[in-house]
């Protein structure tokens, strides 16, 4: 309500807030479990529910939920990081967010409201995530994620809704030009990293 009052209308909602409470399942507290559900499923649900009627009244809109590559199942044989655990509950809720977004896309397509998911292809170093990422891990520039989110927010819902896109894969497959966050400089063409999940597929798979 305050956002609409301040801006006059609501066209785009990006659900990006959260904090990763990582712990192995046998060691995770009830509070951490509930916070994970709250941050990554309950809050996006509440904000989507509140935004949809306002976007419907405007004749359309765009919702982008920020996902995670961890929503995909661990590869086999299980790598060391999967055996060490810690992200199982977080990843499970992100997988639920994918399905929620796909279902909501179907519910809102007739209202011209697109609902998509954009996930980092690997990891993005932020203050909240830095403690979970090894110092030598090759993270990606957040500008690729931002460019992919923006690209989800300009076509009518009938032309682009229900997608699960990855920050390096989407620009790579669509030829999307990516610039630094300040818009001043072009970045190299997106190159999906070899260490990303093998289930991240090219755009041909989404035709």
Q: Which residues are designated catalytic?
A: 90
Structure tokens of 174? Answer: 């669509």
Question: Residues near 72 by Cβ (< 8 Å), separated by ≥ 6?
Answer: 95, 197, 199, 200
Residue 149, helix vs strand vs coil = helix
Round to whole Å and give the CA distance between 62 and 153: 6
Pull the structure tokens for residue 105. 């896309």
Q: CA 25, CA 171: separation in Å to the nearest integer?
A: 35
Coil vs helix vs strand at 101: helix
**Contact call for residues 51 and 7 (beta carbons, < 8 A):** no
Q: Which residue has 């306002």 as its token pair?
A: 54
Bond preceding residue 77 cis, omega within 30 of 0: yes
3-class DSSP assignment, residue 159: coil
């Amino acid at each position: 309500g305050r956002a609409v009052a301040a801006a006059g209308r609501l066209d785009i909602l990006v659900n990006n807030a959260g904090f990763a409470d990582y712990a192995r399942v046998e060691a995770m507290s009830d509070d951490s479990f509930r916070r994970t559900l709250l941050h990554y499923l309950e809050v996006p649900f509440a904000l989507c529910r509140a935004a949809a009627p306002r976007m419907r009244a405007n004749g359309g809109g765009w919702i982008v939920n920020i996902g995670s590559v961890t929503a995909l199942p661990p590869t086999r044989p299980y790598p060391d990081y999967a055996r060490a655990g810690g992200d199982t509950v977080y990843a499970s809720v992100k997988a639920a967010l994918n399905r929620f977004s796909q279902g909501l896309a179907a519910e809102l397509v007739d209202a011209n409201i697109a609902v998509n998911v954009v996930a980092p292809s690997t990891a993005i170093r932020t203050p909240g995530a830095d403690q979970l990422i090894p110092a030598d891990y090759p993270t990606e520039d957040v500008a690729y994620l931002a460019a992919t989110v923006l690209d989800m927010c300009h076509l009518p819902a009938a032309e682009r809704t229900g997608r699960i896109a990855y920050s390096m894969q989407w620009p790579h497959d669509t030829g999307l030009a990516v610039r630094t966050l300040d818009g001043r400089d072009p970045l190299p063409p997106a190159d999906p990293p070899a260490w990303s999940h093998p289930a991240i597929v090219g755009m041909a798979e989404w035709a």
